[in-house]
Amino acid sequence: MFKNEEMEINLGPQHPSTHGVLRVKLRLDGETVVKCTPIIGYLHRGVEKICENKTFFQGQVWTDRMDYVAAISNNLGWAEGVEKLFGIEVPRRARYIRTMLTEMNRLASHLLWLATHALDIGAMTVFLYTFREREYLLDLFEAFCGARLTTTAFRIGGLREDLPPGFIKQAQAFQGIFLDCLEEYETLLSENRIWKKRTVGVAKISAEDCIALGVTGPVLRAAGVPYDIRKAFPSAAYAEMDFEIPTRPEADTYARYLVRLAEMRQSHRIIQQCIDGLPEGPVMAKIPKILKSEVNEVYHSIEAPKGELGYYFVGEKGGTTPYRMHVRAPSFVNMQALSKMVEGRLLADVIAAIGTLDVVLGEIDR
């Protein structure tokens, strides 16, 4: 009477826990996932093509809208990539402020990740607590550049303006309370038996698979590979900072949670060093009003909260716009690991796997 056959269902694109417009086609045998195919492209805007028709100054506003929870990291990649193409030297104070803001943005991004990931798995309280601290950071961004999400924080050659009065004091206040807040999240989650049941041993991916697929960021570090662009190819003021690369050997969802929490502690350390050692001086280098490129190509990558974010610029002779611009988006590459993580496991683990990859669909589709 009852046949035993596989069933195909769609998870998304309007599913609340796919973090945007991600559609995952799942082939199920009962509750076990047989095949998992992520389908992307619902948020495609053609940023790379648009940037070919915009000048090097104008293109930055599109980078805000790629990874909108970590817009400052995207701005940093764009600004430093263009500076590398034209050989512009950025003043030391500007580099320190850039580093500080990027690390604050990493905190904001990881807080949003923790909130939504915990919400997907079923812990509601953490969501409210992390958003409280994230609000503090967004207020700091608003004080610095006038917008909370689409920041457009940096300019080619430095910063538009210096820090506003009172910024350092506010940042210090945040620094003072943040470690206590992290301990609160750990009280709620780290030892919680429901959280551990949902995360320990779930969505495993080995270091070899990570490297073969090009997966970077906390997912790679949770598999035991200490690879961080901030150490490997330091830009901004990262070479002068003292911090560690947290790693874990387990390579499961729980290990990624621990790695990201440890990363938040390191970011906190970097922000403190930036505040303490903030040098005096100008924040803007002298640059021409119109940037005209030569035949040249540049690849510049930074450590975004999600992994390696790379910008590839090709210049043509006398061109005011990039001849070609390509983005190596960390979410897009990390997304490949999803099928490897969930095939052969339960349907409920797909939700945990999407959450632990920390994907932002604005960046995947661009």
| 167/312 with CB nearer other proteins | 167
For other proteins, give the closer residue by CB, 166 or 318.
166
**If we measure between CA atoms, which residue out of 341, 366, 364 comes closest to residue 352?**
341
By C-beta, is 128 or 348 nearer to other proteins?
128
For 170, the token pair is: 């506010």
Comparison of 173 and 295: residue with beta carbon closer to other proteins? 173
Tell me, rounded to whole angstroms, the distance of Cα 171 from its chain centroid: 21
Identity of the residue, 38 or 158, whose beta carbon is nearer to other proteins in the bound complex: 158
- Tell me whether the omega of the peptide bond preceding residue 13 falls within 30 degrees of 0, making it cis: yes
State the CB neighbour count (10 A cutoff) for residue 204: 17
Positions in 280-299 near other proteins (CB under 8 A)? none
- Of the chain, the end-to-end C-alpha distance in Å amounts to 48
33 near other proteins (CB under 8 A): no
**What CA–CA distance (Å, rounded) separates 102 from 156?**
16
Residue 353: CB minimum distance to other proteins, A: 24
Spell out where the chain has E strands. 7-11, 23-29, 32-39, 154-155, 158-159, 296-304, 307-315, 324-328
Per CB under 8 A, does 48 bind other proteins?
Answer: no
Nearer to other proteins, 38 or 362 (CB): 362
DSSP per position, 293-339? B-SEEEEEEEEETTEEEEEEEEE-TTBSS-SEEEEE-HHHHHTTHHH
**Rg of the chain in Å (alpha carbons):** 21
Structure tokens given for 206: 């080995």
Smallest gap from Cβ 227 to other proteins, in A, equals 33
CB of 12 to other proteins, least distance (A): 27
Angle between helices 92-121 and 71-86 (to 10 degrees): 140
67 belongs to the binding site for other proteins (CB under 8 A): no
Binding residues for other proteins restricted to 179-198, rule: CB under 8 A: 180, 184, 187-188, 191-193
Using CB under 8 A, count the residues that bind other proteins. 31
Closer Cβ to other proteins, 60 or 216, answer by number: 60
Q: How far is the CB of 307 from other proteins (least distance, A)?
A: 26
- Give me the amino acid identity at 79: A
Would you call 348 helix, strand, or coil by DSSP?
helix
Please list every residue from 129 through 168 that binds other proteins, using CB under 8 A: 132-133, 135-136, 139, 142-147, 150, 152, 160-161, 164
Interacting residues with other proteins between 104 and 133 (CB under 8 A)? 125, 132-133
Q: Parallel, antiparallel, or unpaired for β 23-29 and 7-11?
A: antiparallel
- Residues 363 and 66 sit within 8 Å (Cβ to Cβ): yes
Kindly state the smallest distance separating residue 242's Cβ from other proteins, in Å.
27
Q: How far is the CB of 30 from other proteins (least distance, A)?
A: 28
Select 156 or 359, whichever has its Cβ closest to other proteins: 156
323 and 315 Cβ atoms separated by less than 8 Å? yes
Which stretches of the chain bind other proteins, using CB under 8 A? Answer: 54, 57-59, 61-62, 125, 132-133, 135-136, 139, 142-147, 150, 152, 160-161, 164, 177, 180, 184, 187-188, 191-193
